[in-house]
Protein backbone atom coordinates (compact mmCIF):
# COMPACT_ATOMS: atom_id res chain seq x y z
CA UNK A 1 0.00 0.00 0.00
CA UNK A 2 1.30 3.45 -0.91
CA UNK A 3 1.52 5.97 1.91
CA UNK A 4 1.04 9.71 1.89
CA UNK A 5 4.07 11.81 2.77
CA UNK A 6 4.11 15.11 4.59
CA UNK A 7 5.68 18.09 2.88
CA UNK A 8 8.82 17.76 5.01
CA UNK A 9 9.19 14.12 4.06
CA UNK A 10 8.68 14.96 0.39
CA UNK A 11 11.28 17.70 0.73
CA UNK A 12 13.81 15.16 1.98
CA UNK A 13 12.93 12.82 -0.89
CA UNK A 14 13.33 15.63 -3.43
CA UNK A 15 16.75 16.53 -1.99
CA UNK A 16 17.84 12.91 -2.33
CA UNK A 17 16.56 12.71 -5.89
CA UNK A 18 18.19 16.00 -6.75
CA UNK A 19 21.59 14.69 -5.63
CA UNK A 20 21.26 11.49 -7.69
CA UNK A 21 19.93 13.30 -10.78
CA UNK A 22 22.69 15.93 -10.55
CA UNK A 23 25.35 13.21 -10.47
CA UNK A 24 23.76 11.49 -13.47
CA UNK A 25 23.48 14.76 -15.44
CA UNK A 26 27.12 15.62 -14.73
CA UNK A 27 28.06 12.12 -15.92
CA UNK A 28 26.06 12.72 -19.11
CA UNK A 29 27.81 16.06 -19.64
CA UNK A 30 31.17 14.35 -19.31
CA UNK A 31 30.06 11.61 -21.71
CA UNK A 32 28.94 14.19 -24.27
CA UNK A 33 32.20 16.15 -24.17
CA UNK A 34 34.31 12.98 -24.30
CA UNK A 35 32.26 11.61 -27.20
CA UNK A 36 32.50 14.88 -29.12
CA UNK A 37 36.28 14.88 -28.62
CA UNK A 38 36.48 11.27 -29.81
CA UNK A 39 34.27 11.96 -32.84
CA UNK A 40 36.34 14.98 -33.89
CA UNK A 41 39.51 12.94 -33.35
CA UNK A 42 38.20 10.20 -35.64
CA UNK A 43 37.70 7.62 -32.85
CA UNK A 44 34.37 5.97 -33.63
CA UNK A 45 34.53 3.15 -31.09
CA UNK A 46 33.09 5.06 -28.16
CA UNK A 47 30.16 6.76 -29.89
CA UNK A 48 27.46 4.07 -29.55
CA UNK A 49 28.45 2.82 -26.07
CA UNK A 50 28.42 6.42 -24.83
CA UNK A 51 24.99 7.03 -26.41
CA UNK A 52 23.69 3.87 -24.71
CA UNK A 53 25.15 4.90 -21.33
CA UNK A 54 23.61 8.36 -21.65
CA UNK A 55 20.23 6.80 -22.49
CA UNK A 56 20.46 4.60 -19.37
CA UNK A 57 21.13 7.74 -17.29
CA UNK A 58 18.07 9.41 -18.84
CA UNK A 59 15.91 6.36 -18.04
CA UNK A 60 17.10 6.42 -14.42
CA UNK A 61 16.28 10.13 -14.24
CA UNK A 62 12.84 9.56 -15.74
CA UNK A 63 12.21 6.76 -13.26
CA UNK A 64 13.02 9.10 -10.39
CA UNK A 65 10.84 11.80 -11.91
CA UNK A 66 7.99 9.35 -12.18
CA UNK A 67 8.38 8.55 -8.50
CA UNK A 68 8.30 12.28 -7.74
CA UNK A 69 4.96 12.62 -9.52
CA UNK A 70 3.74 9.53 -7.71
CA UNK A 71 4.41 10.82 -4.19
CA UNK A 72 2.68 14.11 -5.01
CA UNK A 73 -0.56 12.37 -5.92
CA UNK A 74 -2.74 11.94 -2.84
CA UNK A 75 -3.49 8.37 -1.84
CA UNK A 76 -7.08 7.51 -2.75
Q: Which of 2, 7, 70, 73 binds other proteins (CB under 8 A)?
A: 7
Kindly report the backbone phi and psi dihedral angles of residue 2, in degrees, each rounded to the nearest multiple of 5, phi listed first. -85, 140
**Applying CB under 8 A, does 65 fall inside the site for other proteins?**
yes
Q: How many other C-beta atoms can be found within 10 angstroms of the C-beta atom of residue 50?
A: 19
The whole-angstrom separation of Cα 5 and Cα 67 is 13
Binding site for other proteins (CB under 8 A): 4, 6-7, 10-11, 14-15, 17-18, 21-22, 24-25, 28-29, 31-32, 35-44, 47-48, 50-51, 54-55, 57-58, 61-62, 64-65, 68, 72, 74
Amino acid sequence: MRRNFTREQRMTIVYGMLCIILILVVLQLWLLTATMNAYLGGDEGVIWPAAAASTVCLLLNLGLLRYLYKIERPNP
